[in-house]
Structure 1
């Protein structure tokens, strides 16, 4: 495997160049973190791959970070990132927010991903997949576009390379991209198709052994770490629990334990809406997060959703305990 790369191939940009001193340019070396395992980092540079062991004086770093070392690969300093997802990845230019246009379409989840991406100071592009299987793609796209008049929204078939040409402006050489999306949203299909659209003589290649950074046929860099793949859990954090804890508590008062809150008799949530004790839009967002599967008439929850419900119930119990005291 070729282990040497130009800085441009690794994602180097003017933003980082401006942070260099004369000593850096003349005597030191620049490298990008391409993998992390415990206290050990793997870095890629114009001079090949090397490892760096962190110590008490080394700042917290993550995949995607740029660092300055001396010629012996001793750490000197960390460059300020252009964007950062805490404990997951840094220096991502564009995040594709993936959501399917089938029964798994989830507007509330897209909103959460947008918040996460904006907080990280990266650019967001919403990619709505499985357009070929949807009869109401235009209506769902319009709902997403209403979230932000400047938001870029693309509707694609992730299995069709021609359909993905709309993403080309974000896949230029040296640009780093990442994907966020729930299980089944089409992330893997989209990545596979993009990786297969190579021009003659170009092939994807890993930066380092882990494959967390990959150079795509277009020259863009795909950042795909385990922690980024698991970011879907983040939409069920404490803020989401705080937003919906009252609704979750009401579920216990429904007449039926498997109430779907779709007009069943004795539904406590619908009763609260009718009595103007709950906002209709908040309930709608909550229902989207629950991701009910109308095809089999049973509530299905992903692992992140199960974690959300367990955490929410614990939060509710803690609040009741605090009030009792």
Structure 2
């Protein structure tokens, strides 16, 4: 294992420097958590890798956090994070919010990821992929840009390195990046292309045994933990589910169990809109969250949206139970 990483290589910034004491600078050591397994942490410093076992006196920590230890690698304190995805990752500078421009395009999901990234206090860049499979890519990009006049939106082909040059400003040495997106959004393709050695870049280097932190050819640090890859919006958006509980209750009153709410006879949601009991815009937002893809014979839901749906059904049952009491 190469132990010649500098703090700047590992993502050190002025924000953390300002938190150091004179003792930290003269006698202690600075390290970044690069993996976590149970109560054991793997850390990397300028002096190489070492392990740290958690105890009851230590604060909750996660991959990406910076800590201060003594020269014997005994824990002293945790530095304040610049950004935090609770129990998932810390100190990420930029999140690439991935969304495909094919049939999986979902504006509502992009909005939820933006909220999640904002709450974590990280910067967001929306990366729209698979433009070659979309005839209205420009229109869809315009829809995303309308979410925020300051939002950075890029359209790329994740399989072509030349197409990814637009992401270079966010991939500078020492900057930590991570990706959020559902299955099929192009995350793996983007990572594989960015890890290619091009334009004289250095060979990618894994930091630690788990590979959760990797130094990219550009010098940026990719934070790619299992918990971030599997991050499901339903875990953060139960408040949104509650707002659609009445619509999900209405679904059960539809004549057909596989009703798409697109004009089928006996659709309870359509009837509620016609009777002014539901607004069309609200129903449209609900349908976006459902993110359903239909074929001729069946209805399928994406993995995260299936979670949304099940959680909302639970919310309906809870409200009914509360009302009976």
Q: CA separation in 1, counterparts of 2:204 and 2:290?
A: 37
Aligned to 1:57: 57
1:96 aligns with 2:96: yes
**1:296, CA displacement in angstroms?**
4.4
**1:210, CA displacement in angstroms?**
0.3
**1:314, CA displacement in angstroms?**
1.7
Aligned to 1:183: 183
TM-score (norm 2): 0.97
Aligned to 1:264: 264
Q: Secondary structure at the match of 1:76?
A: strand
Kindly tell me: are residues 137 and 285 of structure 1, through their superposed partners in 2, closer, same or farther at Cα, counting changes over 3 Å?
same
Contact 2:35–2:212 under 8 Å retained in 1: yes
Q: CA separation in 1, counterparts of 2:297 and 2:204?
A: 43
1:317 aligns with 2:317: yes
Aligned to 2:273: 273
Aligned to 1:127: 127
Aligned residues: 325
**1:301, CA displacement in angstroms?**
1.4
**1:256, CA displacement in angstroms?**
0.6
Aligned to 2:286: 286
Kindly tell me: are residues 297 and 170 of structure 1, through their superposed partners in 2, closer, same or farther at Cα, counting changes over 3 Å?
farther
Q: CA separation in 1, counterparts of 2:91 and 2:259?
A: 44
Q: Secondary structure at the match of 2:20?
A: coil
Alpha-carbon displacement from aligned partner over 1:58-88 (angstroms, at most 9, x marks no partner): 0000000000000000000000000000000
Aligned to 1:243: 243
Q: CA RMSD in A?
A: 1.3
Alpha-carbon displacement from aligned partner over 1:152-200 (angstroms, at most 9, x marks no partner): 0001111111111000000000000000000001000011111114343
Structure 1 window deviating more from structure 2 (189-198 vs 216-225): it is 189-198
Q: Secondary structure at the match of 2:269?
A: helix
Aligned to 1:156: 156
Aligned to 1:254: 254
Q: CA separation in 2, counterparts of 1:307 and 1:293?
A: 15
Contact 2:93–2:175 under 8 Å retained in 1: yes
TM-score (norm 1): 0.97
Kindly tell me: are residues 201 and 320 of structure 1, through their superposed partners in 2, closer, same or farther at Cα, counting changes over 3 Å?
closer
Aligned to 2:41: 41
Q: Secondary structure at the match of 1:168?
A: helix
Contact 2:241–2:311 under 8 Å retained in 1: yes
Q: CA separation in 1, counterparts of 2:174 and 2:279?
A: 46
1:70 aligns with 2:63: no
